[in-house]
Structure 1
């Protein structure tokens, strides 16, 4: 297969490029600057411009674009978060439709479901409430031109990816200093997945042409925040006795506290499991040990 990837320089994108090439696939990358390598093609999402040659013989387009969420959301920050996801998706979906590309694999998030408490959530669950839920709905809706043109569209509803370059980076020094602790009551579920399993799942979805629609990319066993905190402490051999009450998190983080730190999402990967995907890291503590 020839795969064209947008967002190839990020954590997931760079790992996916390496994995696909190791598997024998031809990978091309979209870059937001003049192309400098044979596998690069330039594009400008806000202007709606893409090098036409980028789509030659391409069988799958993968879109992993999106700016970091940040720790506080102003109105301007929210708009940046939306624009960095929806604009590239619209441009790529229209190009997929125009060039009749068979498959579009597009990023999305578990945030689609909102706060679901203890309820087990599969891909058939409705959209929840909140900024992230509305964002994910609009993000996925932006792939409509590709779907309407008959392309296979997969929406990656990604959970928390365990990687020292991502989620675990800012947490590790806190735990090393003995400052780790649960957030709120610690009962909220965290839909986690190892970096290796996430990248393997993306390759699986690219290669399995019968799969389409929303796919929860997370581990079959989501952990509560309290369980996650204990596992981090065990792996790093540090106590994690602290507790950040909900009111303190809301004071420090504003809307982000309820949307990301205190939200409970007991999501499971029903589509992947039914399709026969095998997770390498099913134990949280073992996955954290590998990541750290």
Structure 2
């Protein structure tokens, strides 16, 4: 396939391109073409902006992964706007380009996150679960609504409600593992809150699965089939690193350090990938012990 991608230099996009570069052709939208080629190699094509796309009909599929990192900074009003605009505006530009084409790409795969569901406590969450109204829900709901603004009679849309992506190449796991590597790791808050996660390799394989299966439409939870509590995850992470799990960081400390964004860590969701497994996708790393063992085995 000839694929147009936004967010191609990020953790997920770059790994997808690395894994499937021999099977597909990629054009990556990036404001820094030199950086994109350094990260992704010279085989990719680059475009400086969505506005510069003159032949979107040349692409078989669009994979939209662009967006400001959601947990890197405190959620000030300015940062919230940046988080939202980076997702909403990029997606709106893509949708406008697609709808203006006489022969658009066949498939749009667009990012979202399990933040769509908001705080669900220990309730089992599938794609049919009614969301709790809060910032992350508002962010993801509008993001998905914009993506679904394409002409559904001409293009298939799948949205990726992604959990915490586990990898040794960056992302959240690096930050979670650091205290354990220093010998001061432990649970966060009550430890009873759930973490819905997915190994990076299963993440990119799942995107490829959705790309290749025309019957897959609508939202998909991209999380492993066995979410775990923070306490269980902390013990597994400590074991994988050969470090102790002795400490606890109280909720009020997390709130002081992270502000409102601490809710993503202190609340969580018990999300399962019901639609993905029903469609026939098989996980290589269905349990957190298998995932962390692979990541830290090298």
TM over 0.5: yes
- Pairing 1:1-292 to 2, within 5 Å after superposition: 1-22=1-22, 24-33=23-32, 39-44=44-49, 49-53=51-55, 55-69=56-70, 70-99=72-101, 100-148=104-152, 150-164=154-168, 165-258=170-263, 260-292=264-296
- Aligned alpha-carbon RMSD (Å): 1.7
TM-score when normalising by structure 1 = 0.93
Q: 1:43 to 1:126 in 2, by over 3 A?
A: farther
Number of matched pairs: 286
Alignment gaps of 5+ in structure 1: none
Alignment gaps of 5+ in structure 2: none
- Partner secondary structure for residue 165 of structure 2: strand
Distance in 2 between the 1:209 and 1:279 partners? 20
Contact in 1 for aligned 2:114/2:221 (Cα 8 Å): yes
Q: CA deviation at 1:225?
A: 0.3
Contact in 2 for aligned 1:147/1:153 (Cα 8 Å): no
Farther off after superposition, 221-230 or 146-155: 146-155
Q: CA deviation at 1:148?
A: 4.3
Contact in 2 for aligned 1:157/1:215 (Cα 8 Å): yes
Q: 1:101 to 1:244 in 2, by over 3 A?
A: same
- Partner secondary structure for residue 129 of structure 1: coil
Q: CA deviation at 1:19?
A: 2.2
Q: CA deviation at 1:33?
A: 4.1
Q: CA deviation at 1:126?
A: 2.1
Q: Deviations over 1:34-64 (max 9, x none)?
A: 688674242435xxx13213x2421110000
Q: CA deviation at 1:262?
A: 0.6
TM-score when normalising by structure 2 = 0.91
